[in-house]
Structure 1
Amino acid sequence: MNSVFSFARLGALLIKEFIQMRRDRITFAMMLGVPLIQLVLFGYAINNDPKSLPAALVATSNDPYTRAIVAALQTTGYYRFDHVAQSAAEAEFLISRGDVAFVVTIPADFARRVESGNSPQILIEADATDPAVASGAISTLGTVGSQALLRAQGTQEAAAEAAKGQLDVVVHRRYNPEGISQYNIVPGLLGVILQMTMVMMTSIALTRETERGTMENLLAMPSSPLEIMMGKVLPYLAVGGVQVVVVLAAAKLLFAIPFTGSMSLLLTAVLIFVLALVLLGYTISTIARTQMQALQLTFFFFLPSIMLSGFMFPYRGMPDWAQIFGEIFPLTHFLRITRAVMLKGAELPAVATEIGWLVVFVALFAGVALVRFRRTLD
């Protein structure tokens, strides 16, 4: 018998390993699922040049020149006018809440200025919290608008007329006029850091007890499933509070991120978000059998969450199905809240819907965790 190498022994070890792999279904699913998710997300969902961006129109006239400008902007593929604001205040609320990426204002004397060649103007207000979203759409404005007016006047063929009465497009890059990418990334990092640490640490809460052999002691205590769950997740709320202080301090001191909104509103949203995360992690711990499985499930959740939430890539650049899928992640809603409060100075009415979704996630994860705990441990 060869003591150095034996094909028979190697074959037995391979068979054993394949049987073990078949038993560990979560690991096997991760090996097949993660590459497939990466392929689909990077291939179909990720787009750094978003098109068909929602826009609001503020116009008191319906003259041919106004219609020509609106039609020309829609033809570029960047603008989708699905809101007609009756006033500037209504348009301001839409852009502060994030319902639209642009507000196009055409003044009442626009047609008269066009016909008299007196430098007609339109105002484009762009939500520049994400510079990548606004840059492509803004770069096409001047040429497209001027050509649309010349076609409406019937003078497109005359080069001299192209210079006469040139359209003046006034662009206001709201909330981030310098186009500084850190203004968009750093507020988002608050949510990403909290998600990575809170979900990961609480996901091993119960599996750690099982692997250490202390689960029996935990079950022997005169505690209800709700009390055990609260005892497991509440300490991490304090850890999350420390992380919030560190990230906000770094955002102000290191990156000079402006903070124009209500600190109390932001902290309230952070509290609900962290509670949702720790409950999600606890839910994962009731599903996984080992700490390795818990960490694998956590990673399986992280990948689509970060990619589809609008942190790494423009949310509005994704296809409709990817945007719908992205709505199921708490991070998506939290990023909207942090950017709206910190950069736009948004108040509660503007972010109430997103906070409501976070509350729904808290209730959902808590309910699932309690049901799973009863089924597996009682």
Structure 2
Amino acid sequence: MNAVFSFARFSAVLIKEFIQMRRDRVTFAMMIGLPIVQLMLFGFAINADPRHLPTLIELGDNGPITRAVIAGMQNSDYFDFQGVVGGEASGNEALRRGSANFVVVIPQNFERDVVRGHRPEVLLDADASDPSAVGGAAGALGGIVQVAISETFSGPLAGIVPPPPPFSVIVHRQYNPEGKTSTNIVPGLLAIILSMTMVMITAVAIVKESERGTMEMLIATPVRPLEVMLGKILPYVMVGYVQTIVFLTAAYLVFEVPFQGSALAFFMGFNLFIVVNLALGFLISTAARSQMQAMQLSFFTILPSILLSGFMFPFAGMPGWAQFLGQGVPATHFLRITRKVMLKSAEIGDIMPEMGALVLTLLVISAVAMLRYRQTLD
């Protein structure tokens, strides 16, 4: 046995590995693509201090001071005014649906009370189900409006307003008044857990059958692609049921997360989301040639589910292109369903837009999966 290091033998092994790497295109694409995706998402889409959050305003008064307050809030970049609501009920409904993060309520006779030194209260109703979306804006609001007021009452008008702040800002945190992070994270975590396990379990299980040769037996039978797809993914629905029961029990007993909405609405959304993820796992299995590739491709779907769904960062605070991509992530819509049902007392009608998005996603994934499965049969 030659103990002397041979550069020729070393070069042969090295070249062989590069050739093998080139043949394994999925792994090679993961090595190149995953760092790029991480760089783009963490560099551009992730924002720990969200700005331009959708805001509505309820106008009880519309004088110069009110306009100055609104202009100051807009100039701060924290608030993106979407329109005017007609009353308290409309504002609360917008917060419950998730179409607005804030509702600014200007009381009646606001201008008169400011000038007279009565210090009226401006109410900021906030959707605090995601505390990170509220903290920065609420903390900066006092300074924002004070600067706006000081600029409005400059010059000869400066003596009209007394030295103390002319009004106070009251922040009303709805759906999570204590600002507990667990109240926001725990409901969303169910979407991430189901995404990770359902996709990976299905993809790996089907690819394992292909490696063992049992899939060839199915191909030889008259079973149609849709029948194979349903037969493969439905048994894992029970796995999702077990995970969800354990999760909800722990969320209620350990983290004291409420469940205030319709159980039927949650049940419908939960079942649809599981089927979507299982279909996605089936699609991945048609592209992977080994269990390792199936796991790699499954992991590739986890990053968007965590970073683009609104799980860790407010969805409305992300750039427009990131929100566009996030709308195509199934976890985005199920996360909204769980938070609406558990925290905002949502009923079936409240979750229909998210259900429609999940149904559309399921149809697209299923069509592509069956097409690729037919190509595999050929």
TM range (shorter): over 0.9
1:254-269 matched pairs, under 5 angstroms: 254-269=254-269
- Counterpart for residue 167 of structure 1: 167
- Counterpart for residue 63 of structure 1: 63
Query: Which amino acid is 1:106 matched to?
Result: I
Distance 1:31 1:140 in 2: 42
- Counterpart for residue 323 of structure 1: 323
Identity percentage over the alignment?
A: 51
3-state SS of 2:352 partner: helix
- Counterpart for residue 137 of structure 1: 137
Between 128-137 and 109-118, report the one with greater CA deviation: 109-118
Counterpart contact for 2:192–2:305, Cα < 8 Å: no
3-state SS of 1:42 partner: helix
1:67-78 matched pairs, under 5 angstroms: 67-78=67-78
Distance 2:146 2:369 in 1: 59
3-state SS of 1:313 partner: coil
Residue 54 (str. 1) matches residue 54 (str. 2): yes
Distance 2:113 2:146 in 1: 13
3-state SS of 2:133 partner: helix
Distance 2:215 2:73 in 1: 63
Distance 2:233 2:23 in 1: 30
Distance 1:92 1:261 in 2: 16
3-state SS of 1:201 partner: helix
1:220: how far off? 2.4
3-state SS of 1:346 partner: coil
1:1-378 matched pairs, under 5 angstroms: 2=2, 5-154=5-154, 161-164=161-164, 166-378=166-378
Q: 1:165 to 1:118 in 2, by over 3 A?
A: farther
1:316: how far off? 2.6
Distance 1:155 1:270 in 2: 61
3-state SS of 2:21 partner: helix
3-state SS of 2:328 partner: coil
Q: 1:132 to 1:162 in 2, by over 3 A?
A: farther
| Residue-by-residue CA offset, 1:301-322 (whole Å, 9 max, x unaligned) | 1122211111122323321111
3-state SS of 1:218 partner: helix
3-state SS of 1:124 partner: strand
3-state SS of 2:234 partner: helix
3-state SS of 1:55 partner: strand
Distance 2:159 2:258 in 1: 46
3-state SS of 1:163 partner: coil
Distance 1:147 1:219 in 2: 72
1:3: how far off? 5.1
| Residue-by-residue CA offset, 1:159-191 (whole Å, 9 max, x unaligned) | 994534621211101111111000011101111
1:374: how far off? 0.8
Query: Which amino acid is 1:170 matched to?
Result: I
1:299: how far off? 1.0
3-state SS of 2:108 partner: coil
Q: 1:162 to 1:61 in 2, by over 3 A?
A: closer
Q: Matched residue pairs, number?
A: 378
| Residue-by-residue CA offset, 1:281-332 (whole Å, 9 max, x unaligned) | 0011011111111111111111222111111223233211111111110011
1:347: how far off? 2.4
1:121: how far off? 1.6
| Residue-by-residue CA offset, 1:188-229 (whole Å, 9 max, x unaligned) | 111111011000011123321111111221122331111111
Counterpart contact for 1:156–1:162, Cα < 8 Å: no
Query: Which amino acid is 1:186 matched to?
Result: V
Counterpart contact for 2:265–2:351, Cα < 8 Å: no
Distance 1:156 1:302 in 2: 60
Query: Which amino acid is 1:364 matched to?
Result: V
Q: 1:83 to 1:350 in 2, by over 3 A?
A: farther
Counterpart contact for 1:155–1:161, Cα < 8 Å: no
Distance 1:95 1:177 in 2: 14
Calculate the TM-score normalised by the size of structure 2: 0.95
1:106: how far off? 0.8
Distance 1:112 1:294 in 2: 67
Unaligned runs of 5+ in 1: none
Distance 1:152 1:102 in 2: 24
3-state SS of 2:124 partner: strand
| Residue-by-residue CA offset, 1:233-289 (whole Å, 9 max, x unaligned) | 000111101111010000001111011111111111010100100000001101111
Q: 1:215 to 1:108 in 2, by over 3 A?
A: same
Counterpart contact for 1:56–1:81, Cα < 8 Å: yes
Distance 1:267 1:376 in 2: 35
3-state SS of 1:258 partner: coil
Counterpart contact for 2:123–2:170, Cα < 8 Å: yes
C-alpha RMSD of matched pairs (Å): 1.9
Distance 2:317 2:156 in 1: 33
Distance 1:198 1:353 in 2: 23
